[in-house]
Each structure stands twice: as structure tokens, then as C-alpha cells.
């Protein structure tokens, strides 16, 4: 997700959304692999988040003590106090920056400048991503997921980190489900080329996205949903009623910046949510449920009811 280029547009009048310039898409992922049990390894592009831990052995304790004594003797107590205060801050910043890089590519560049951007937006992030937003639209039409009886997602929620990019750190979706999801999006664009299309994400700048050519509500050029290549999770916009259902049933969470800004205009709209990657199941039940959530996003963006399954 980009925090610099994505524009937020939410209105009730029909607008023609021009698809972004074509970008190369890796079609190797469109070839579906056989269904396989999940593995414990991290997906490509993701690396583990690091925690700070310090182990003091005998020699290290002696070295630290000697360094402090010499610093006080030669540099003075004031300067030594400043060094003692600054040293852990440097360690914390370095660890935080490495964790930002470990989330992989996203809309924000993996550079020091990108890290500074995210550090700024972190000050305005949601404190509770599991509480549904207030009504965001004057429309009297309710959501569609509650009528469908969306089941609860089994097990605990995955651990999620980051703002841009925002990624799952565990419970990654199966590659089979990811490929089926890509194929369903491409198939919809091929079946209805005058209404839908697929290109590289306008919001994320990475990964495949589904676009509506006549969008009523969109964050960027009619984008409906994009799927992440690394952890296979998704971002999309949903009706406030559908967001409430998704949150209560455990299928996703709000994006950290999906809020109304009183001072700043947030880079994404308050109806922007993350949907967890469909996990391995022999009957593909989670994949079918994710299809239904994406269908709700399509309906919310373009007010068209379609079927992905």
C-alpha cells in the first residue's frame, strides 16, 4: 500500500475509472499447483521480525563496565550519560528499520526515506484495528455478507505487522489457494472486459489487482482488491456493515490508516481492510469464503453482483 500516491475517493455518483498503465504481471503464478499441506517456512519476500535481546556474559559485563569507567574518566559524566541514553535508542531504531525491510516490498520504498514516512504515519495509526468504523456513507443500503451467514474463521487470528506494507507473519495461505484466487480474478476480467480488468495494483504497486472500470467508490483508479505475492493476504474496501461482519467473524482487520483524519487526509479511506490469506483445507472452504468477501468488495465498489467461484 502506498502512503504517497494513492488517492481516496468515496462518492455516490458513477465515475469512469481509467485503468493504470499496463505493467508486466508474472503469469507463472496462474498455473495452479496441486493442493499441498502448509509448511512452516516463511513465504518468499518475507523475513522474520526481530526482537531485541541482550545476553551479558562475563567478558561482556567486564567490557561494558570498563567502557563506562573510561568514558567517565576521559569524557566526563555528562557526555557519558548522553552516550548511555543514545546507545539503546540507536539499537531500537536499527532493529525497527530492519523489521520494516523484512516485511518485503510494498507501496512504500524500502529505503530510509520510506522508513521515515512510515514512522510519521505510525503516529496516526489506529489503536484498535478490530473495532468496526462508524457509518461512512449516507446510503441506506446495507451490506450483503450478513445475509449470507458468513461462518467464523477457526483458530486465532494471524500476527500482522506493518503499515505499508502490512503483512501476515504467520498462518500464511497455501500457494494453491493463492493461484486459484489469481485465476478467479483474471477470469472475471476476461469474462467481462467492459466492466472489470486486472493489472498490477495501483495502491500497493506490487501484486495482482482487480479493477472496476465504472467504480462508485475506490482508493485508486477503480481498484477493488489486490493480493500480496508474499503472504497471500489481501486489501480491499468493504461496506461498513460488511466490515463489521468480517471483523466479528475473524476474517480480517482494518488497515492501520483506515480512519477519518481530522488534521491530515489519510492515504486510504476508512473502509479499507486487510483480509487474511485463505489457509490450506482439503475442501477449499476458506478460499470459497474469501471469494464471497471479494464479491462483497466488488458489489461495494461498483454495485454489481458477480460470482468468482
Per-residue pLDDT of the chain (309 residues; tens, 9 = 90+): 444 434 444 444 444 444 444 444 554 455 555 545 545 455 656 677 776 666 767 787 778 788 878 888 788 888 888 888 888 888 889 889 999 999 988 878 889 999 999 999 999 999 999 998 876 455 557 889 988 889 999 999 999 999 989 999 998 888 899 999 999 999 999 999 999 999 999 888 888 999 999 888 877 889 999 999 989 999 999 999 999 999 999 999 999 999 887 778 888 999 999 999 999 777 789 999 999 999 999 999 998 999 997
Give the 3-state secondary structure of residue 40.
coil
What is the chain's Cα-based Rg? Answer: 22
What is the torsion angle, in degrees rounded to the nearest 10, for the CA atoms of residue 247, residue 248, residue 250 and residue 256? 20
Give the max Cα distance, the chain. Answer: 77
Residue 260 to residue 136: CA distance in whole angstroms: 9
pTM of the model: 0.79
Residue 132 to residue 148: CA distance in whole angstroms: 19
* C-alpha grid cell, residue 54: 541482550
Bond from prior residue into 165 cis (ω within 30 degrees of 0): yes
Q: Are 64 and 56 in contact (CB under 8 A)?
A: yes
What is the torsion angle, in degrees rounded to the nearest 10, for the CA atoms of residue 200, residue 294, residue 287 and residue 202? 10
Closest alpha carbon to 128 in 247, 278, 2: 247
HSE toward the beta carbon, residue 134, CA cutoff 13 A: 3
* Alpha carbon distances (Å) from 193 to 19, 159, 184, 198: 12, 37, 14, 9
Amino acid at each position: 500500500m502506498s502512503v504517497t500516491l494513492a488517492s481516496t475517493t468515496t462518492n455516490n455518483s458513477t465515475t469512469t475509472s481509467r485503468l493504470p498503465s499496463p505493467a508486466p504481471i508474472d503469469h507463472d503464478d496462474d498455473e495452479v499447483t496441486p493442493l499441498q499441506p502448509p509448511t512452516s517456512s516463511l513465504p518468499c519476500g518475507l523475513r522474520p521480525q526481530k526482537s531485541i535481546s541482550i545476553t551479558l556474559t562475563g567478558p561482556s559485563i567486564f567490557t561494558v563496565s570498563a567502557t563506562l569507567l573510561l568514558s567517565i574518566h576521559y569524557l566526563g559524566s555528562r557526555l557519558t550519560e548522553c552516550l548511555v541514553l543514545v546507545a539503546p535508542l540507536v539499537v531500537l531504531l536499527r532493529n525497527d528499520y530492519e523489521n520494516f525491510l523484512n516485511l518485503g516490498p510494498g507501496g512504500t520504498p524500502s529505503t530510509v526515506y520510506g522508513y521515515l514516512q512510515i514512522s510519521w504515519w505510525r503516529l496516526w495509526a489506529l489503536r484498535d484495528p478490530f473495532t468496526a468504523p462508524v457509518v461512512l456513507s449516507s446510503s441506506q443500503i446495507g451490506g450483503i455478507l450478513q445475509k449470507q451467514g458468513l461462518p467464523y474463521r477457526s483458530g486465532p487470528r494471524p500476527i500482522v505487522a506493518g503499515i505499508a506494507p502490512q503483512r501476515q507473519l504467520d498462518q500464511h495461505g497455501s500457494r494453491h489457494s493463492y493461484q486459484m484466487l489469481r485465476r478467479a480474478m483474471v477470469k472475471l476480467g476476461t469474462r467481462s472486459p467492459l466492466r472489470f480488468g486486472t493489472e498490477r495494483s495501483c495502491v500497493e504497486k506490487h501484486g495482482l489487482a482487480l479493477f472496476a472500470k465504472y467504480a462508485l467508490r475506490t482508493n485508486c483508479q477503480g481498484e477493488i482488491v489486490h493480493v500480496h505475492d508474499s503472504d497471500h493476504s489481501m486489501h480491499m474496501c468493504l461496506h461498513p456493515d460488511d466490515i463489521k461482519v468480517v471483523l466479528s467473524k475473524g476474517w480480517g482487520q482494518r488497515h492501520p490508516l483506515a480512519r477519518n483524519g481530522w488534521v491530515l487526509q489519510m492515504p486510504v479511506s476508512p473502509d479499507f481492510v486487510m483480509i487474511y490469506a485463505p489457509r490450506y483445507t482439503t475442501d477449499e472452504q476458506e478460499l470459497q469464503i474469501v471469494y464471497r468477501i471479494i464479491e462483497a468488495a466488488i458489489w461495494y465498489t461498483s454495485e454489481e453482483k458477480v460470482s468468482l467461484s
